[in-house]
Each structure stands twice: as structure tokens, then as C-alpha cells.
């Protein structure tokens, strides 16, 4: 299944972001720590490199991600020129408060107190950018919602006399090139429900969890997963949760929704859907081209 989702307002949002890029010092790109590259918008990199702007990659929702994998991603991004990576949870105000200082280090020419450091915050829908903004500005200025693409217009706010930040709408790109990216984004609720079939997303997620986190599946749902395939996992969930159709058949749709929602809520445990290594391998298999900056990625 090819997952695509590009609401109409995102075309104007992209144009406005390109205009604003010329007037800022640092780009803050908010990613989902569970799927950093899948949640990276290639348009952000294209726009910032065109203007030669440094980037702070904020891996949000780090409290839901596998900490060992998160450390690998931070090392990966910190090897890239003009990039600094940090992992945090936007719900932790102390962690969020570090962002302006980290941006300042990427733009030392703005340390003279003559002009404020101008930051532009970007990211795809539903990675927690609005929550991050509210914590940074210390008041509710961005609407927070469970549905993607809540923010619709660009706004600039003053954090202090030395720091301003411009918030942008969650921005997708016109075509999701890799099918697994679309499925990871759908599982993490970064794209709208009208773009996906929930059962296909659940099967993809179950397959991944069987390979990388089988113990977490067993612990959550109370049955052994040895020798079980993805469909069997979902049917097992249906049985354990009494999600049955007439005649006692598993309600695959409802059980799929349970698995996906448990992942989103962190009830399965701390899970990362991709690592630098799996990303590197996927790109080599599909295109023959490695991930940007992955030349040092271990095999």
C-alpha cells in the first residue's frame, strides 16, 4: 500500500516557509524520536541547505522511543555538518528550555546582543511541535490536538529579548517515496486516517514488533509469540481482549486498532521503528543510495 497525504493548505505553507527561511538564523526541525528519518521532511533539508541555515534536530517523544536506538540516531545526526541533535519530551519543560541555548551555539554570530537569534520551527504533523511551542513561549499560543495538521498558519513569537521563534504549520511533502515510511507515519498518527487502511498498518507494525520487540508483545497481551506471524498476533489480541464477531471469529479491525493505539500511547513499552542501520539497509535495497550522512553507519 502506497500511503500519500498532502492537504491543500500545505502548498501555501511550503511557499511561506521558503520566504521566512531567508530571514532566520537557525532551523529547529522537530522529529518523532521513534522514527526520525521517516518523520524527516526532505523539503526542510532542501530549503535550509539552499539558504545555508544550520539545523537543530529535536527528537521529540524520546520518552516513547528505545533509548539505545535514540543514542545511535543522535550520534548519526551529530556527524552531519551544520547539524546538532537532541532528544527530549516536549512535556518536560526543563528539557525544552535548553533549545534556545543549543540554537545559539549553532549561530555564534548572534551572541553579540545586537540582534536577537531568530529561530524557525518546522516539522511534519503530529510530532508534538505545538506542545513544544507552548512550553518554549510559556503560554498557550499553539493549538494542540490528536489529529494531524492542527496548526494552519505561520506565527512569530518572542521568547526573550534575545530570542524569537516562528512557528509553521505541520508540513508534509507531496510524495512519500518509501512505502515503509508511509506505514511508520500512519502507525505514529502523523498522517490522516483517510490516507490509510488501519488493518494494513497494524500488520506492518506487528511484523516489525515480532522481529525487534517480541518480548514486549508477549508482556502486553499475555501470549507467546514464538512461531506466530503478524496476522496471528492481531488475532491473538482479539482473543485476549474478547474482540469477536458473530460465530466467535476474531474482529480483526478492532484488534488492529488496539495494537496501533497501544503503540501510540506507549503502552507496549519504549519502541523505535527504525535505526540508522535499518534505514541504511532499506535505502540500499530500494535505491542503491545510502541515507544522507550514513557513510559511517555500521553494518
d(CA 106, CA 100): 10
The residue ranges of every structural domain in the chain are: 9-167, 179-268
Rounded CA-CA distance 171/152 in Å is 10
- pLDDT recorded at residue 31: 97
d(CA 83, CA 112): 22
Q: What is the pLDDT of residue 292?
A: 59
Q: Evaluate whether 9-167 and 179-268 have a shared fold.
A: no
C-alpha cell at 136: 518554549
> CATH assignment of 179-268, given 1.20.120.350, 3.40.50.620, 3.40.50.150, 1.10.1580.10?
1.10.1580.10
Closest CA to 62 of 8, 27, 98, 26: 98
**76 pLDDT above the threshold of 70:** yes
Given the candidates 3.20.20.70, 3.20.20.30, 3.90.950.20, 3.40.50.300, the CATH classification of the domain at 9-167 is 3.40.50.300
The answer, yes or no, to whether residue 147 has pLDDT greater than 60, is no
pTM over 0.75: yes
How many of the other CB atoms lie within 10 Å of CB of 265? 9
CA dist 79 and 101 (Å) reads 20
Which pLDDT band, with edges at 50, 70 and 90, does 163 fall under? very high
Contact criterion met (CB below 8 Å) for 276 and 291: yes
In angstroms, rounded to a whole number, what is the distance separating the alpha carbons of residues 245 and 238? 10
Q: How confident is the model at residue 17 (pLDDT cuts 50, 70, 90)?
A: confident
State yes or no: pLDDT of 234 exceeds 60.
yes
Determine contact, residues 44/27, Cβ cutoff 8 Å: yes
Q: What is the mean pLDDT of residues 164-191?
A: 87
Mean pLDDT of the chain: 87
Is residue 121 a contact partner of residue 133, using CB atoms and an 8 Å limit? Answer: yes
Amino acid at each position: 500500500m502506497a500511503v500519500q497525504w498532502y492537504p491543500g493548505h500545505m502548498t501555501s505553507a511550503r511557499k511561506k516557509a521558503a520566504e521566512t527561511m531567508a530571514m532566520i538564523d537557525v532551523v529547529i526541525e522537530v522529529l518523532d524520536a521513534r522514527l526520525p528519518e521517516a518523520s524527516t521532511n526532505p523539503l526542510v533539508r532542501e530549503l535550509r541547505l539552499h539558504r545555508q541555515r544550520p539545523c537543530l534536530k529535536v527528537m521529540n517523544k524520546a520518552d516513547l522511543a528505545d533509548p539505545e536506538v535514540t543514542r545511535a540516531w543522535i550520534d548519526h545526526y551529530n556527524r552531519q555538518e551544520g547539524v546538532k541533535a537532541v532528544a527530549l519530551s516536549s512535556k518536560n519543560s526543563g528539557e525544552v528550555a535548553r533549545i534556545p541555548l543549543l540554537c545559539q551555539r549553532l549561530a555564534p554570530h548572534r551572541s553579540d546582543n545586537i540582534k536577537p537569534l531568530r529561530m524557525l520551527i518546522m516539522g511534519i504533523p503530529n510530532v508534538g511541535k505545538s506542545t513544544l511551542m507552548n512550553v518554549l513561549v510559556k503560554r498557550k499560543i499553539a493549538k494542540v490536538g490528536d489529529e494531524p495538521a492542527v496548526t494552519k498558519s505561520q506565527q512569530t513569537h518572542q521568547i526573550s529579548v534575545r530570542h524569537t521563534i516562528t512557528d509553521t504549520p505541520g508540513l508534509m511533502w507531496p510524495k512519500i517515496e518509501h512505502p515503509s515510511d508511509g506505514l511508520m507515519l500512519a502507525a505514529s498518527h502523523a498522517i490522516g486516517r483517510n490516507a490509510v487502511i488501519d488493518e494494513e498498518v497494524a500488520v506492518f507494525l506487528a511484523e516489525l514488533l515480532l522481529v525487534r520487540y517480541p518480548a514486549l508483545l508477549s508482556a502486553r497481551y499475555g501470549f507467546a509469540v514464538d512461531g506466530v506471524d503478524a496476522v496471528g498476533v492481531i488475532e491473538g489480541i482479539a482473543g485476549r481482549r474478547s474482540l469477536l464477531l458473530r460465530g466467535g471469529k476474531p474482529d480483526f479491525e478492532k484488534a488492529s486498532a488496539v495494537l496501533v493505539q497501544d503503540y501510540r500511547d506507549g503502552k507496549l513499552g519504549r519502541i523505535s521503528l527504525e535505526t540508522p542501520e535499518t534505514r541504511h539497509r532499506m535505502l540500499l535495497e530500494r535505491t542503491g543510495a545510502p541515507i544522507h550522512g550514513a557513510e559511517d553507519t555500521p553494518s
